[in-house]
Amino acid sequence: MTGVCIMTFTPDVFPTSFSLLYCPFPSCCLDGPLKSDEMIEHAKQEHSITIHNPEAVLPILDRYLLSLVERSRDTPNLKEVGLESDLLDHTIRVELQTKRLKDILNHQQLERSGLFKQPGECLFCREHFVDKYAVFKHMFQVHSFNIGQLDNLVFVNEFLAVLRGILSSNTCIYCNRTFPDAHTLRKHMRCKQHFKINSHDTRFDKYYIVNYMLPGMTWLDLSDDLANLNIKHDGSSGEEDADEQWEAALDDPADMRTQCLLCDQQFDQPEDCNEHMTDFHKFDLKGQCEGDFYTGVKLINYMRLAYRDGKCPFCEGELCHEDDCLLEDHHIQMQEKCKCTGDDRQQRVPREAYDRAEYLIPFYEDDNLISLLDD
């Protein structure tokens, strides 16, 4: 269907220039929306209007295009806008930028007074918090995920929903690479240090206040100095070396294997390891965690340390390492003295043994069993 494609704007509509735009010219028969750079080229090719210094109008492109519609009515032969000599265009840009910034700051203030105080959930471990401030603090401190301070963001709920959608498709937020499962994705993001936003990814410009502050300035401009710190003396960025190291780590089967908490057996998948512990050792990791991520982290690290130190994690009794005695042999020998049993009942580690902050420190840098806690 062809026809007139005119956008209408209300106080609730915000920067469509960061998403998709419909052409506002009444004579245009463009059916669908275009990205901002495509719309600027469209204005040049289809409406013979060249927009100079287009970067300065990206945050206000929706309303700026409407202003061009008005100007073209008064000036039918309008061919170029944005030249230094175009004082009217300069005035329009400043007025639109000021109005847009005011709208954005008002919206952010509404978020501060309401949204920021609402409960939130971590993007990575599903831990729940009393407000958004606690969510962002947790993601930075625990997962090293830094997307900026809340005071520098706007449309926070939408931003979190977009990030959650990307992660749910097993796609890296930074490089957009897709992986077969969530565990491999997390390992990639840790190895490549991709727990961050790519400053070159314009999908996220909408959510940063700086993009509305000054005409033509984006958060990419502010990050240039930081990016330069990653340049090697030979002029390369080091990204290729990092890629090779990551690929080597990903392809190394031993690096991806998961060791049992109670014996030396290793498994290709953490799910297989968990099944082994449940069936063979009568230990239900998920059942003992009761759905609490941090409880699971502390339990896993405690049991790793106990096994390393030659202690039974259930009763803290000494294992017979000199005889290469297996844990189940220890259970049989110690049935009358300790809490662990040799029968078919499920084993449980006493909560007071592992429920300590010190066990939040990882025993293994990338313990594959922890990925089970995300489910």
In tens, the pLDDT along 13-24 reads: 344 445 678 899
Q: Report which of residues 302 and 142 the model is more confident about.
A: 302
Residue 5 falls inside a structural domain: no
The whole-number pLDDT of residue 163 equals 93
pLDDT recorded at residue 358: 77
Write down the pLDDT at residue 13: 39
301 pLDDT above the threshold of 90: no
What's the average model confidence in pLDDT over 156-166?
A: 91
Q: Are residues 270 and 369 in the same domain?
A: yes
Give yes or no: residues 105 and 127 share one domain.
no
pLDDT of residue 253: 44
For residues 239 and 314, membership in a common domain is answered with no
**Could you list the residue range(s) of the whole structural domain that residue 320 is in?**
257-374
Which residue, of 231, 250, 269, is where some domain finishes?
Answer: 250
Q: Is residue 64 one of the residues assigned to a domain?
A: yes
Which positions ≥6 away from 181 have C-beta within 8 Å? 170
> Other CB atoms closer than 10 Å to residue 249's CB: what's the count?
15
Contact partners, residue 327, CB within 8 Å, separation at least 6 = 262, 263, 281, 312, 319
Residue 221 or residue 364, greater confidence: 364
pLDDT of residue 331: 52
**Is 8 a member of any domain?**
no
H or E segment at 121? strand 120-121
Spatial separation of the C-alpha atoms in residues 341 and 330, rounded to whole Å: 9
Contact 182, 374 (CB under 8 A): yes
Q: What does the pLDDT average to over 111-124?
A: 85
- Same-domain status, 215 and 342: no
Q: What is the pLDDT of residue 242?
A: 46
- Average pLDDT for 164-177: 92
User: Residues of the chain with pLDDT > 90: what percent?
Assistant: 14
Asked, for residue 9, whether it belongs to a domain, the answer is no
Residue predicted with more confidence, 91 or 268: 91
Whether residue 361 is found in the same domain as residue 295: yes
Same domain? 290 vs 356:
yes
Which amino acid is it at 171? T
The pLDDT assigned to 214 comes to: 57
Do 55 and 127 reside in the same domain of the chain?
no
Q: Is 182 strand, coil or helix?
A: helix
For the entire predicted model, the pTM comes to 0.51
Asked whether residue 169 falls in the same domain as residue 203, the answer is: yes
**Pair (275, 361) in one structural domain:** yes
268 occurs within a structural domain: yes
Where is the domain boundary, 250, 271, 304?
Answer: 250
Distance, CA of 141 to CA of 149 (rounded, Å): 13
Residue 65, pLDDT score: 92
pLDDT of residue 48: 92
Question: Which is more confidently placed, 90 or 212?
Answer: 90
Position 66 scores a pLDDT of: 92
User: What would the mean pLDDT of 362-373 be, rounded to a whole number?
Assistant: 74
Assigned domain for 345 exists: yes
Q: Is residue 2 part of a domain?
A: no
Same domain, yes or no: 49 and 155: no
Residues 35, 102 within the same domain: yes
- 312 Cβ contact partners less than 8 Å away, ≥ 6 residues apart: 306, 318, 319, 327, 330, 331, 334, 338, 340
Q: Is the pLDDT of residue 230 over 60?
A: no
pLDDT in tens, 314-363: 877 766 544 334 455 555 444 444 445 444 556 788 888 888 877 877 67
Contact 153, 109 (CB under 8 A): no
Query: In whole angstroms, what is the distance from residue 106 CA to residue 14 CA?
Result: 12
Greater confidence, 171 or 222? 171
Distant-in-sequence, close-in-space partners of 354: CB < 8 Å, separation ≥ 6: 298, 299, 301, 302, 303, 313
- Does 7 fall in a domain? no
Give burial (CB, 10 Å; 0-12/13-18/19+) of 191.
middle
Least confident window among 53-62, 116-125, 131-140, 251-260: 251-260
User: pLDDT tens digits, residue range 201-211?
Assistant: 878 888 888 77
pLDDT at 260: 87
Residue 345's pLDDT is 57
Q: Which of 219, 250, 281 is the last residue of a domain?
A: 250
> 47-61, 142-156, 219-233, 332-346: which has the highest mean pLDDT?
47-61
Lowest-confidence pick of 104-108, 192-196, 245-249, 353-357: 245-249
Same domain for 295 and 233: no
- Average pLDDT in the chain: 75
Question: What is the spatial distance between Cα 253 and Cα 34, in angstroms, rounded to a whole number?
Answer: 45
Number of domains in the chain: 3
Check whether 252 has a pLDDT greater than 80: no
Q: What is the DSSP string of 134-166?
A: HHHHHHHHHH--B---GGGBSSHHHHHHHHHHH
pLDDT-derived band of residue 44, with 50, 70 and 90 as boundaries? very high
The predicted pLDDT at position 305 comes to: 86
